[in-house]
């Protein structure tokens, strides 16, 4: 990106209704507790680094970040970094031809597949160039191989959770920041404490967190920007906890590619997984996620039904309806609701119209009866 070009705020504010936001997979539903982070100071030579992208003044930072995340995912699986096309993501945004894109839009697009950079270039291109690129059907077909299964929203302003995800999974994390241009340095600092996220002159930008370190004794993330090699520290920047806690406003990562097995096999005779046993006696309810406090919105209800929900999640895993690579945390969120709905439909616990209206957000008497007929002690 050319420093003389106008910086575009490519990360768009999420305007979905709160009810829609509650359908996102929340980190608190898949991880009961984060692993402690081994915070040590790493020399720059030891920071993880992937190919640095260049959005060239376009508003494609979200698409560039997601393309990087897919590359890291593939690298983890095959020890080979593959460059995915940001153009193929950006060109399908819902707000086209306006610049920038929303995070949920980018991840939804990735669930349909993303083709390769060598087929559809995306570097050093403007918005009109990316929007006008022709993508023949055969190139789109290649992208269908690389669909993500889903993505997880992470708590904002929590640097330990981001670092723990990187340390535990090896994946990159999409992180968004808002700032004034002169704040976005090698190690960004806050010059304008009263800066408003929604202000017209505020920059809103998406980058990829790839590593973590101590920096001058402070916790910090190593992020990769999409402004080319000649910005920051050879394309990377240091985001200290001081900056992160104030200016971070979105964080998420893809769980994995759809072609990777995310569920256990169908129940089989021994030596397959042991059939879980549990007797359900009470109604269970979906609980919205309180993003501001990073916890279930109704703590009392969550604690009272937690043991039952853990048993429910184990049963849903056994049936292949709940991701096997996700912990049974006892939080009844959107992942559990989707699995409950699939269970209810498969076992015909009620009419389809009734089940559709509930969307798996409740385990009532009919579902309890079906569960106990199969799994009761």
The CATH number given to whatever domain includes residue 23 is 3.90.70.10
Structural domain includes residue 319: yes
Structural domain includes residue 156: yes
CA Rg value for the chain: 22
Same domain? For 34 and 179 the reply is yes
Same domain? For 333 and 221 the reply is no
Q: What are phi and psi of 175, to 5 degrees?
A: -130, 140
Pairing of strands 173-179, 248-254: antiparallel
The token pair that represents 125 in the structure block: 């291109």
Same domain? For 149 and 289 the reply is no
Same domain? For 223 and 364 the reply is no
pLDDT band at 83 (very low <50, low <70, confident <90, very high): very high
Is 197 in contact with 183 (CB distance < 8 Å)?
A: no
Please report the pLDDT score of residue 359 as a whole number: 94
Please report the pLDDT score of residue 259 as a whole number: 82
In this prediction the pTM is 0.84
The predicted model gives 123-138 an average pLDDT of 96
Q: Is the pLDDT of residue 288 over 50?
A: yes
Final residue of a structural domain among 202, 232, 254: 254
Structural domain includes residue 83: yes
Distance CA 29, CA 295 (A): 10
- Distances from the Cα of 268 to the Cαs of 265, 274, 277, in angstroms? 8, 9, 15
Structural domain includes residue 145: yes
Same domain? For 43 and 96 the reply is yes
Final residue of a structural domain among 254, 276, 298: 254
pLDDT band at 299 (very low <50, low <70, confident <90, very high): very high
CA atoms within a 13 Å half-sphere pointing along the CA-CB vector of 83: 15
Same domain? For 232 and 292 the reply is no
Structural domain includes residue 166: yes
Q: What are phi and psi of 59, to 5 degrees?
A: -95, 30
Please report the pLDDT score of residue 181 as a whole number: 92
Same domain? For 206 and 304 the reply is no
| Count: domains in the chain | 2
Angle between helices 334-346 and 365-375 (to 10 degrees): 70
Please report the pLDDT score of residue 28 as a whole number: 85
Could you tell me how many residues make up the chain?
Answer: 377
Final residue of a structural domain among 254, 274, 295: 254
The token pair that represents 173 in the structure block: 């994390």
Please report the pLDDT score of residue 272 as a whole number: 61
The token pair that represents 375 in the structure block: 């799994």
Structural domain includes residue 346: yes
Pairing of strands 151-153, 25-26: parallel
DSSP 46: G
Same domain? For 50 and 167 the reply is yes
Same domain? For 120 and 231 the reply is yes
Q: Is the pLDDT of residue 12 over 50?
A: yes
On average, the pLDDT of the chain sits at 91
Distance CA 261, CA 149 (A): 10
Is 205 in contact with 184 (CB distance < 8 Å)?
A: yes
Q: Is the pLDDT of residue 267 over 60?
A: no
Structure-token match 């460059």, residue found: 83
Is 222 in contact with 48 (CB distance < 8 Å)?
A: yes
Structural domain includes residue 260: no
The predicted model gives 253-281 an average pLDDT of 72
SS3 (DSSP) at 277: coil
SS3 (DSSP) at 218: strand
SS3 (DSSP) at 95: coil
With 0-12 CB in 10 A as exposed, 13-18 as middle and 19+ as buried, what is 40?
A: exposed
Same domain? For 171 and 233 the reply is yes
Q: Which domain holds residue 298?
A: 284-375
CATH of the domain at 303: 1.10.101
The predicted model gives 61-88 an average pLDDT of 96
Same domain? For 166 and 313 the reply is no
Q: 290 - beta bridge partners?
A: 295
SS3 (DSSP) at 6: coil
Range list of H helices, the chain:
18-21, 27-30, 61-78, 86-90, 103-110, 127-132, 137-143, 159-169, 241-247, 299-318, 334-346, 352-358, 365-375
Same domain? For 353 and 292 the reply is yes
Structural domain includes residue 302: yes
- The pLDDT tens digits for 195-215 are 999 988 899 999 999 999 999
Q: Is the pLDDT of residue 3 over 80?
A: no
The predicted model gives 106-125 an average pLDDT of 96
């Amino acid at each position: 990106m050319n420093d003389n070009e106008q910086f575009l705020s490519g990360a768009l504010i999420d305007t979905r209704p709160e009810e829609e936001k509650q359908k996102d997979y929340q980190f608190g539903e898949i991880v009961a507790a984060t692993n402690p982070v081994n915070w040590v100071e790493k020399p720059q030579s030891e920071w993880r680094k992937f190919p640095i992208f260049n959005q060239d003044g376009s508003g494609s930072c979200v698409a560039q970040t997601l393309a990087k995340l897919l590359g890291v995912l593939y690298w983890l699986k095959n020890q080979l970094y593959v460059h995915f096309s940001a153009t193929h993501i950006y060109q399908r945004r819902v707000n086209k031809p306006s610049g920038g894109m929303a995070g949920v839009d980018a991840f939804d697009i990735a669930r349909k597949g993303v083709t390769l950079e060598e087929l559809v270039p995306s570097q050093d291109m403007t918005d009109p160039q990316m929007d006008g690129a022709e993508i023949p059907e055969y190139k789109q077909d290649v992208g269908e191989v690389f669909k993500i299964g889903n993505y997880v929203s992470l708590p904002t302003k929590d640097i330990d959770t981001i670092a723990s995800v990187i340390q535990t999974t090896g994946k990159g994390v999409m992180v968004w920041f808002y700032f004034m241009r002169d704040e976005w340095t090698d190690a960004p600092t806050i010059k304008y404490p009263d800066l408003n996220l929604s202000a017209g002159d505020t920059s809103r930008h998406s980058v990829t967190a790839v590593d973590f370190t101590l920096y001058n004794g402070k916790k910090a993330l190593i992020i990769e920007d999409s402004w080319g090699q000649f910005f920051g520290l050879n394309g990377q920047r240091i985001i200290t906890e001081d900056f992160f806690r104030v200016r971070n406003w979105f964080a998420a990562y893809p769980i994995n590619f759809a072609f990777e097995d995310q569920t256990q096999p169908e129940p089989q005779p021994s030596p397959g997984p042991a059939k879980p046993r549990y007797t359900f006696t009470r109604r269970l309810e979906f609980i919205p996620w309180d993003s501001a406090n990073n916890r279930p919105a109704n703590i009392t209800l969550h604690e009272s039904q937690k043991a039952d929900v853990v048993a429910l999640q184990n049963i849903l895993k056994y049936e292949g309806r709940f991701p096997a690579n996700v912990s049974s945390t006892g939080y009844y969120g959107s992942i559990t609701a989707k699995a409950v709905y699939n269970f209810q439909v498969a076992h015909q616990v009620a009419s389809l119209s009734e089940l559709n209206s509930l969307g798996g957000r409740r385990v009532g008497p009919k579902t309890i009866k079906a569960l106990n007929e199969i799994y009761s002690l």
